[in-house]
């Protein structure tokens, strides 16, 4: 080892590295994931971990900024939203001190009223004049005027306090909305992108305002259209399957169960032994049914297979309401509604951008589509 060479440099130059096709596991090496990440100028803070379904990707915070993966316009927008979140948070904290001070001032005025009223009631001369129905003396009138002035002061302080609470609620709401949009949505979505994802700017036509419609009105309209489309999508997903599909699934289940309960006569034929019945079977699905009960159910199904299929079909016909939809029709309608929702998300964000350019601030939904907000798409 050379004397003037730092130990760290020597270690990096002489420590062997094991490199595989997927990289060295540390974001280095010549793995194809790393090569793609380098080509796209992306951060290397995604590590694979094994699951029952294969490999998944987990974000590991190594100090890099996920925003650096974005195209310049999207990166600038994300950084601006971060600044807005910080500014909104900074506006909230001082409000707590002001609200606390105003609350104390309001309490002081309230206690002053109680104190003055108590002193007035304890004054023998004031009390005797009131009982006798005599005109209050000048000193009594001055004391009552002092009480009234303190009550007016308390009313003003209460109004100030309530106004501060309202302002604090509005600012806290904006701070929470921006935090939800960024922390629980945009940042999380960006960190979840696997390495090799190619992020490009979205190129689409800007939405047009209807005749006599303002930008704010257009945003509200698009949001209502989105709510309707989302409700339609939920209704579609909740629709039952067709009668034919239900009967096919029931038949498949019954035949599978009957096959499990089918007794074996091979030993009887070959060696004259007894018929072998499945006395204990492991249930196919997760349930509380015992092995013995499942075996009995399977055997009974084997004996009465055709009758059971006919009975189940009759039950399906009696219950079905005719609103079933085929898998192909469901998939086609879902794809159409999903595409419409994506389009509405992009229209909404474009209109919000237009409103901001004209000086009107519109809070974004915390569940807004991340790609729409950032103006990107994954190719």
87-109 pLDDT, tens digit per residue, is 998 888 888 889 999 999 999 99
130 and 258 housed in the same domain: no
Residue 1 belongs to some domain of the structure: no
How many Cβ atoms are within 10 Å of 190's Cβ, its own excluded? 22
Determine the pLDDT at residue 196. Answer: 82
How many Cβ atoms are within 10 Å of 188's Cβ, its own excluded? 13
CA distance 279 to 295: 6
212 and 86 housed in the same domain: no
Indicate the burial class of 161 (C-beta count within 10 angstroms; 0-12, 13-18, 19 or more). Answer: buried
Q: Tokens standing for 181?
A: 């949009």
167 and 297 housed in the same domain: no
Domain harbouring 130, CATH code: 1.10.287
148 and 99 housed in the same domain: yes
Residue 2 belongs to some domain of the structure: no
282 and 371 housed in the same domain: no
pTM score of the predicted model: 0.64
CA distance 84 to 92: 13
Secondary structure of residue 154 in the 3-state scheme:
helix
Asked if 275 contacts 265 with a C-beta cutoff of 8 angstroms, the reply is yes
126 and 255 housed in the same domain: no
308 and 263 housed in the same domain: yes
62 and 74 housed in the same domain: no
Residue 126 belongs to some domain of the structure: yes
Residue 278 belongs to some domain of the structure: yes
Structural domain for 279, as ranges: 243-319
39 and 109 housed in the same domain: no
Indicate the burial class of 51 (C-beta count within 10 angstroms; 0-12, 13-18, 19 or more). Answer: exposed
CA distance 376 to 379: 10
What one-character-per-residue DSSP string does 157-177 give?
HHHHHHHHHHHHHHHHHHHHH
363 and 223 housed in the same domain: yes
β-strands 199-201, 54-59 pairing: unpaired
Residue 17 belongs to some domain of the structure: yes
74 and 176 housed in the same domain: yes
Q: Which residues of 195-222 are buried (b: 16+ CB within 10 A; e: fewer)?
A: bbbebeebeeeebeeeeeeebeebbebb
Per-residue confidence of the chain (379 residues) as pLDDT tens digits? 444 444 444 334 444 343 334 444 444 444 445 445 444 544 445 555 444 555 444 555 556 788 998 999 999 999 999 999 999 988 888 888 899 999 999 999 999 999 998 888 888 666 666 666 677 788 888 888 999 999 999 999 999 999 999 988 888 888 999 999 999 999 999 998 888 889 999 998 999 999 999 999 999 999 999 999 999 999 999 999 999 999 999 999 999 999 999 999 998 898 888 888 887 777 776 567 788 888 899 999 999 999 999 999 999 999 999 899 999 999 999 999 999 999 999 999 999 999 999 999 999 999 999 999 999 999 8
When divided into structural domains, the chain yields a total of 4
Which of 319, 351, 369 terminates a domain? The answer is 319
280 and 183 housed in the same domain: no
């Amino acid at each position: 080892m050379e004397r003037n060479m730092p130990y760290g440099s020597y270690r990096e130059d002489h420590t062997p590295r094991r490199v595989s096709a997927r990289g060295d596991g540390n974001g280095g090496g010549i793995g194809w994931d790393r090569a793609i990440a380098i080509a796209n100028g992306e951060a290397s803070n995604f590590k694979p971990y094994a699951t029952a379904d294969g490999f998944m990707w987990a974000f590991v915070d190594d100090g890099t900024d996920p925003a650096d993966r974005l195209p310049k316009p999207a990166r600038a927008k994300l950084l601006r939203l971060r600044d807005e979140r910080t500014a909104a948070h900074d506006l909230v904290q001082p409000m707590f001190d002001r609200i606390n001070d105003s609350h104390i001032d309001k309490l002081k005025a309230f206690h002053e009223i109680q104190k003055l009223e108590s002193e007035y009631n304890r004054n023998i001369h004031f009390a005797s004049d009131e009982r006798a129905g005599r005109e209050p003396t000048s000193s009594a009138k001055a004391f009552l005027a002092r009480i009234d002035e303190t009550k007016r002061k308390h009313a003003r302080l209460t109004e100030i306090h309530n106004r501060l609470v309202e302002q604090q609620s509005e600012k806290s709401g904006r701070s929470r909305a921006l935090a939800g949009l960024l922390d629980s949505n945009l940042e999380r979505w960006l960190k979840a992108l696997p390495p090799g994802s190619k992020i490009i700017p979205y190129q689409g036509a800007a939405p047009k305002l209807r005749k006599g419609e303002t930008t704010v009105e257009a945003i509200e309209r698009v949001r209502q259209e989105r709510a309707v489309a989302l409700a339609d999508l939920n209704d579609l997903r909740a629709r039952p399957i067709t009668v034919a599909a239900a009967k096919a699934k029931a038949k498949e289940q019954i035949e599978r169960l009957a096959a499990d309960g089918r007794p074996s006569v091979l030993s009887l034929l070959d060696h004259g032994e007894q018929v072998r019945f499945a006395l204990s079977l492991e249930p196919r699905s997760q349930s509380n049914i015992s092995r013995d009960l499942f075996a009995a159910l399977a055997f009974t199904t084997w004996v009465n297979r055709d009758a059971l299929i006919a009975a189940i079909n009759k039950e399906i016909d009696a219950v079905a309401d005719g609103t079933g939809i085929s898998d192909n029709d469901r998939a086609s309608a879902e794809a159409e509604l999903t595409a419409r929702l994506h389009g509405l998300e992009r229209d909404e964000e474009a209109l919000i951008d237009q409103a901001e350019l004209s000086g009107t601030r519109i809070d974004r939904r915390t569940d807004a589509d991340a790609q729409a907000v950032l103006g990107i798409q994954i190719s």
